[in-house]
Each structure stands twice: as C-alpha cells, then as structure tokens.
Amino acid sequence: MFNIILHEPEIPANTGNIGRTCVATGAKLHLIGPLGFSLDEKQLKRAGLDYWKDLDVTVYDDFDDFMKKNPDAKIYMATTKAVHVYSEVQYEPDCFIMFGKESAGIPEDILLQYKDTAIRIPMIGDIRSLNLSNSVAIVLYEAVRQNNFSHMQLEGHLHHHSWSEAE
C-alpha cells in the first residue's frame, strides 16, 4: 500500500528494523545507493529477524535510477528542514515517503524539487534528528492510520486465556 524510500542508508540495523516495519504494514522498501553496507550483512538480518525474507525490497543505483523506474511517484520527503508537519498531510495509497541517510539526511538539491511535499517530525530545541527507524515508524503508521489500517489485523488474542475472563 505504501512505499518507504531510504536514500543512501548507512546503518544496517536501522535498515533491518525498517524492513521489519515495512513487512508489518505491507509497505514496500526502496533502497537508493550507494548503501553503507551489504544486503547480506549479519546486522541487517538480525534486526529484520525472520521477516526479511517476506520483505518487498528494490535497490536502485542512485536517485536518478529510482526516478527513471518510478517516474510518476508521489514522494513525501521526510526531513528536519521541512515546514510542514508529517501529520498535516494526507498520504495517498501507493505514495512514497523518503528518508535520508543517518549522517546527513536527504541532499538539499533533491529537497528543493519537493518543497510542497517535504514533511517533518516536530522536536524540541536543537535535537538534530530522531533515529531513522523510529522516524520511519512514526510517519508510516500515520499514513496507515489515515487509511484506516487497511488490510491490517486490528485485534490481538491471548494465547492461554480469553479477554472475557478479565471481566
């Protein structure tokens, strides 16, 4: 339903966590190179647990390669430099939400092309940024919430008891 883009991710554990979040929400993951790690790296698989095999993931050489293969993509750019708050926009099914690399974010020359769809997570003071995997989870779950958690399991179940026993 949704698409998460990581532009030049550097930390395998973050990408593994994000991959797991994508599987849990039915989102596709798009990785734009160069990557700061190998896709067979142990940390990546450990963070993604046994979910990595279920992940719909595509790797691109660079941003131009991504745009050539996805020319009609509606992209929201998640950045601390944006003026719009992530919860103030309406996320359409099949839209793309892009996040930059951990050390530098999305390059400003790319951001300038997406001024109207640049979004930010509010923070206090001079905090540089949140952890990348946390940021993806915050924004992706807002998009999923806005779309009524479509195709998601909305109720949990106890293994050895029934909720009615609690009454």
Element (H, E) at 136: helix 132-146
121 marked ligand binding residue: yes
- Which of 54, 43, 58 is closest to 10 using CA atoms? 43
As a whole number of angstroms, the distance between CA 98 and CA 121 comes to 13
100 marked ligand binding residue: yes
The pairing of beta strand 57-60 with beta strand 28-32: parallel
For 100, list phi and psi in degrees, rounded to 5: -90, 175
Helices (H), 63-131: 63-69, 108-111
Element (H, E) at 120: strand 118-120
Contact call for residues 17 and 47 (beta carbons, < 8 A): yes
| Binding residue ranges | 100, 121, 129
| Binding residue ranges for S-adenosyl-L-methionine | 100, 121, 129
